[in-house]
């Protein structure tokens, strides 16, 4: 390691699931978030960090670690159809979905396949790059963590009995690695029992980080995941203060490990960010839920428990406020036919399909269509060029001369386009207006609360706080964080 690397500040990235401006500002106003307020007052605050699409944690984390969208990292979303294996992949929706799909296979997807089979090896993670450079890193409770160190995950006894998984599972991780009760840095068993989600909770994450701090064992880069705010926001809505207050308590405890909070800032770069936002969901269940089984009831839809049969015609991949809808025979059931049905529903603001290299977008709100593909005469704020024709209102684009300005759908063209190259198959993509979410067989719903997955800015904008460096990412997108982080670390 060079002297320059030794002198660099250590970097701690705290990923707080669903940290967004609306609830954060409410909590600070109510004096419920002193730690987050301290970080904001001693750093830079951004309320417009753009999440990848679909705005689901597995896709977001994949982009954060690899620095590419899903067209390259190949993790399409939380739920998707694997054409090669003719089965639905679900990384952790509702437990009833997982049981119907087969618990053992679902757990293998979550605990192994996500990181080691589905996440593309063509794009190294930040942990793999740092290891190659001889720099240690730590991952605490993140869903995506792939590194170069061969590691054994120890599956808890009850989970093994219930799912049929072997008690041990091989994995590849960073140098320092926590994955709930299955692999931890601190040998003491705290907050890791099955009723505490086997350690996938904020207290467990905080305890692991505190253990590293107290033993002066922080590596140059540490990423820590705090999941609890997401669940709280789903129930309590976009302005949920309780969830912010609870995660702030954990941040206070972390800061208290130092002689003073100010001292915590002296030799460490702190980056605190959300992975996505959440959109409000209407309280009227019948109105809020877009039941795709009813909308597309004229087709034979794959049943989760039975799997794909020769009689089936379409597959639903429901990701809360967005969905992949697949045709199993495009000659018999063309995508355009499915799209026409869904664009009659004014709760659906984006209905998109791809032909060749062109994406066509229609809507339940606006007439006509919008067609676009890369490499054209129009440029957006990220210096991406596009060919565009049709009704710009569908994606709320403002075009002045050759310049594209995004409105309700941040980085809409690249985010939507990348999803059509994230996996094989013939499918349309739908996204719901705020107030609504999609429903499939067994999929979780959040009536009267909040939900995410969609293309809209309510789902797509997260908050970020940067303390300890004057630099910022090239653009305010999670896509751009990896390259920036590497400049801070190595």
- What mean pLDDT do residues 209-214 have? 96
- Residue 198: pLDDT band by 50, 70, 90 thresholds? low
Map out the domains of the chain with their CATH numbers: 3-75+119-281+455-489 (3.40.720.10), 285-448 (no CATH)
Whole-number percent of the chain with pLDDT over 70: 94
Q: Is the peptide bond before 54 cis (omega within 30 degrees of 0)?
A: yes
Closest alpha carbon to 461 in 12, 25, 13: 25
Q: What is the DSSP string of 158-198?
A: HHHHHH---SEEEEEE-SEEEBTBTS-SS-S--S-SGGGGG
What pLDDT digit, counting tens, does each position of 347-372 carry? 999 999 999 999 999 999 999 999 99
Closest alpha carbon to 471 in 320, 269, 327: 269
pTM of this structure: 0.94
Q: Residue 6: its pLDDT value, please?
A: 47
| Contact predicate 97/304, CB 8 Å | yes
Q: What is the DSSP string of 367-394?
A: SS-EEEEEEEEEE-TTS-EEEEEE-GGG
C-alpha atoms less than 13 angstroms from C-alpha of 201 in its C-beta half-sphere: 16
Closest alpha carbon to 143 in 168, 118, 175: 118
The length of the chain in residues reads 490
Closest alpha carbon to 209 in 200, 198, 218: 218
| Contact predicate 312/91, CB 8 Å | no
- What mean pLDDT do residues 17-33 have? 95
The count of other CB atoms within 10 Å of the CB of residue 3 is 7
Checking if the pLDDT of 223 tops 70, the result is yes
What pLDDT digit, counting tens, does each position of 296-333 carry? 999 999 988 888 888 999 999 999 999 999 999 988 99
Dihedral sign from CA coordinates of 229, 231, 234, 235: negative
Residue with tokens 């170069």: 148
């Amino acid at each position: 390691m060079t002297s320059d690397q030794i002198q660099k500040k250590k970097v701690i990235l705290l990923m707080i699931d669903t940290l967004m401006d609306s609830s954060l500002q409410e909590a600070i106003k109510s004096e419920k978030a002193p730690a987050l307020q301290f970080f904001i007052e001693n750093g830079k605050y951004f309320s417009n960090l753009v999440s990848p699409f679909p705005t689901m944690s597995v896709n977001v984390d994949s982009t954060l670690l690899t620095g590419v969208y899903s067209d390259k990292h190949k993790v399409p979303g939380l739920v998707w159809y694997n054409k090669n294996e003719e089965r639905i992949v679900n990384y952790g929706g509702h437990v009833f979905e997982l049981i119907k799909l087969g618990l053992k296979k679902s757990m293998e997807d979550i605990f192994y396949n996500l990181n080691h089979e589905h996440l593309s090896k063509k794009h190294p993670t930040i942990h793999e790059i740092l290891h190659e450079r001889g720099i240690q890193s730590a991952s605490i409770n993140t869903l995506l963590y792939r590194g170069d160190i061969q590691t054994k995950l120890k599956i808890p006894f009850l989970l093994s009995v219930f799912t049929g998984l072997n008690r041990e599972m091989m994995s590849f991780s960073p140098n320092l690695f926590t994955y709930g009760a299955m692999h931890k840095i601190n040998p003491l068993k705290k907050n890791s029992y099955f009723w505490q989600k086997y350690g996938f909770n904020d207290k467990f994450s905080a305890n692991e980080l505190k253990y590293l701090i107290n033993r002066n064992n922080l590596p140059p880069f540490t990423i820590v995941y705090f999941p609890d705010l997401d669940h709280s926001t789903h129930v309590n809505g976009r302005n949920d203060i309780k969830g912010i207050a609870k995660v702030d308590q954990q941040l206070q405890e972390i800061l208290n490990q130092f002689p003073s909070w100010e001292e915590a800032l002296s030799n460490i770069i702190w980056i605190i960010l959300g992975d996505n936002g959440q959109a409000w969901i209407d309280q009227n269940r019948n109105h809020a839920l877009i039941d795709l089984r009813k909308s597309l009831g004229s087709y034979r839809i794959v049943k989760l428990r039975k799997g794909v049969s020769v009689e089936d015609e379409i597959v639903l991949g429901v990701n809360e406020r967005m969905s992949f809808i697949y045709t199993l025979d495009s000659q018999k059931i063309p995508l355009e036919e499915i799209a026409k049905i869904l664009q009659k529903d004014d709760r659906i603001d984006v209905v998109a399909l791809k032909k060749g290299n062109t994406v066509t977008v229609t809507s339940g709100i606006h007439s006509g269509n919008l067609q676009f593909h890369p490499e054209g005469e129009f440029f957006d704020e990220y210096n991406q060029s596009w060919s565009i024709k049709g009704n710009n209102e569908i994606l709320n684009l403002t075009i002045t001369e050759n310049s594209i300005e995004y409105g309700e759908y941040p980085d809409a063209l690249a985010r939507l386009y990348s999803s059509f190259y994230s996996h094989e198959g013939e499918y349309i993509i739908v996204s719901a207006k705020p107030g609504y979410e999609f429903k499939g067989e067994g999929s979780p719903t959040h009536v009267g609360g909040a939900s995410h997955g969609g293309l809209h800015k309510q789902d797509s904008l997260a908050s970020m706080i940067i303390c300890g460096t004057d630099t910022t990412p090239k653009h305010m997108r999670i896509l751009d964080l990896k390259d920036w982080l590497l400049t801070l670390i190595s």
